[in-house]
Amino acid sequence: MDQFLITGTGRISGEVTISGAKNAALPLLAAMILAETPTTLHNVPSLQDVTTLIKLISGMGIVISKEGNTVTCNTKTIDSFYAPYDLVKTMRASILVLGPLLARFGEAEVSLPGGCAIGSRPVDQHLQAFEAMGAEIIVENGYVKAKAPKGGKLIGCEYSFDMVTVGGTENVIMAAALAKGTTRLENCAREPEVVDLANMLVAMGAKIDGIGTANMTIEGVESLHGCEYSVVPDRIETGSYLAGALMTEGDVLTKHTRPELLLPVLKKFEAMGAVITTGEDWIRAQMKGRPLPVDIRTQPHPGFPTDMQAQLMAVCCLADGTSTIIENIFENRYMHVPELERMGANIKVDGHTAIVKGVEKFEAAPVMATDLRASMSLVMAAATAEGKSLIDRIYHIDRGYEDVENKLRGLGVKIERVSNKD
Ligand code: EPZ
C-alpha cells in the first residue's frame, strides 16, 4: 500500500492550478447516460473515482473514454442497466447512475453503495423520490432493482427532501429531466456541483427552473441530446491548498478556480487573519503570524462545507487560542482527530463538537489516512512539522486530489510516494 514520506519545510507557498471538481465530474459523467447523441466533457480530473465510474458506465455497453482531461461518451450501444457491487463498493457515488438509467430506459439494477468511514450514507431519499415518480423499487441482496411504471416513463411529482442531500438532489433532477410532466422539488441541495449538473442538463435540452435555489421545477422532455461541457473548478481542492498558507505564514495563489464557489471558506480564512485577494479565476491567501481561533459549524451550501472541516481543523490546531468545530452533516467525520493528536494537536471531541486548543506547531509522526479529506489535513500538518512524517493508506487521497504530489511540490512541500510491503 502506498505511503507519503513528507519532510516538513515549515512553509507552504507558491502557485497551484486547480482541477475540475471531483464532486461535479461524477454526476456529470452519470448524466451522459441520458444523452441520445454523443457528449463531450472537458476539465475532468484524473482521479481514481473518475476511472471507476467510467469503468462502470462502459460495463453497460456504452462507449466512453477519457483522453487527458476530456471524456467522450456515446450511449448508442448500451446493452445493460446493471451496476455491480464490486465497483459500487469502491465508489459510492455510482448510485448516481440509477436516476439516468431509470429515466431513460425504464429499468436499473444498482448495488446499494453501503457506508464509508465518515458515516452510514443511506440513499433512502433517492429511492423515496423515485417511488413518488411512480417507480417500483425493490431492495434485495444488496441491490436496488428499479422499474419505471407501465409505459416505461417516470411521472413528474411533487417531492420535498427530508434533509438536504447533494446526491439525492442530483439523482432526482436527472430522473425528472425525462419524466412525463412536471416535477417540483423542495429542500434541494444548492452546492455549486448541483448547479453545474443542472446547467449541463439544460445544455442537453432539459427544462429546469430554480437552479441554485432550494426549490427546483423540472419540466420533463421527450429526450435529451449530447452537448460539450466543462466541469466546474474544485472549490474543496482550492480551499485545501489555500489552508496551507494559513498554517505556515505562507503565500498561496490558486489559479483556474472561482472565488464565488467558496465564499464561506474565504470568510473563515479572513477571520483567522489571512489576507485574501481574488480575481475572476484566481484566489491568493497571504498569512502573517499564527492563525486566530474561529468557531465553525458545517452546513449545506451556502454554509461552511463539511468537505473542508478536516482541513480547517488542521489550521485551528496551530491557532493562537481555542476554536470550536461542530460537524452537522456526517455522524463520524472526526477520524482525523486521533491522527492529528499523534502529531501534537490538542483536540477534545464530544459528539458532533470538537474543541481545538491551538499549539505552536505539529510534531512529525507516522500517521494513517482514514478518508479523503482527512488525508489532506494530515499532509498539510506534516508539511509544517519539523522532521519526517510517514502517512499510510494514501489511496484515499488519490481518489480526490489530482496530481497531488506535483501540486504540493509546487508549493514547497518535500513529499515522496513510497510503498510498503503489506
Ligand atoms: C456529497 O455526498 C459529496 N460527494 C460529499 O463529498 C459531501 O461531503 C456531501 O455531498 C455533503 O456535501 C459527492 O458529491 C460525490 P449527502 P452525498 O447526500 O451526496 C444523509 C468528499 O469528501 N442522507 O448530501 O453522499 C447523509 O447520511 C465527499 O468529496 C440520508 O440520510 O451526501 C448525510 O448525513 C465526502 N439519506 C447527509 O444526508 C439520503 O438518502 C448529507 O448527505 C441521502 C443522504
Same domain as 218, residue 271: no
Q: Separation of 236 CA from ligand 1 center, angstroms?
A: 14
Give residue 117's pLDDT: 77
Last residue of one domain, picked from the residues 230, 257, 273: 230
CATH code of the domain in which 393 resides: 3.65.10.10
Tell me, what DSSP letter sits at residue 252?
E
Give residue 419's pLDDT: 83
Same domain as 221, residue 129: yes
For CA atoms 92, 311, 194, 326, give the dihedral sign: positive
**Nine-digit cell string for 235:** 472549490
Number of residues written out for the chain: 422
Same domain as 287, residue 194: no
Peptide bond into 233 cis (omega under 30): no
Give residue 121's pLDDT: 83
* Neighbour tally for 339: CB within 10 Å: 23
Same domain as 308, residue 185: no
Give residue 422's pLDDT: 58
Nearest C-alpha neighbor of 317 from the set 354, 274, 284, 265: 354
Cite the beta strand spans of 166-306 per DSSP E: 182-186, 207-209, 216-219, 228-230, 251-255, 275-279, 282-286, 295-297
Catalytic residue status for 116: yes
Which residue in 116, 188, 227, 317 is the catalytic one?
116
CB 231, CB 31: distance < 8 Å = no
Same domain as 242, residue 135: no
Q: Which domain holds residue 242?
A: 2-18+233-419
Same domain as 378, residue 246: yes
Pocket of ligand 1 (CB under 6 A): 23, 26, 93, 119, 121-126, 163, 165-168, 189, 191, 193, 306-307, 329-330, 372-373, 400
* Measured CA distances, 70 to 19, 225, 324, 387 (Å): 12, 18, 41, 40
Nearest C-alpha neighbor of 100 from the set 89, 112, 92, 108: 108
Same domain as 34, residue 8: no
Q: What is the number of domains present in the chain? A: 2
CB 302, CB 264: distance < 8 Å = yes
Place of cell 429515466: 103
Same domain as 12, residue 78: no
Q: Helices 235-247 and 309-316: crossing angle, nearest 10°?
A: 10
Same domain as 145, residue 12: no
Amino acid at 409: R
In 3-state terms, what secondary structure has residue 345?
coil
Same domain as 260, residue 213: no
Q: Separation of 300 CA from ligand 1 center, angstroms?
A: 10
Atom number in ligand 1 closest to CA 126? 40
Alpha-carbon dihedral angle through residues 274, 280, 282, 285, given to the nearest 10 degrees? -10
In 3-state terms, what secondary structure has residue 350?
strand
Per the rule left: phi > 0, alpha: psi between -120 and 50, beta: everything else, 10 is left
Last residue of one domain, picked from the residues 194, 211, 230: 230
Atom number in ligand 1 closest to CA 301? 12
Last residue of one domain, picked from the residues 182, 212, 230: 230
Same domain as 174, residue 39: yes
Same domain as 188, residue 57: yes
Mean pLDDT in each 10-residue stretch from start to end of the chain (422 residues)? 92 97 98 98 97 96 98 97 91 94 97 82 94 97 94 95 98 98 98 98 98 98 98 98 97 98 98 98 98 98 98 98 97 95 98 97 95 95 96 93 97 92 62
Q: What gap in Å lies between CA 377 and CA 240, rounded to an integer?
A: 8
Atom number in ligand 1 closest to CA 167? 19
Name the closest-CA residue to atom 38, ligand 1.
165
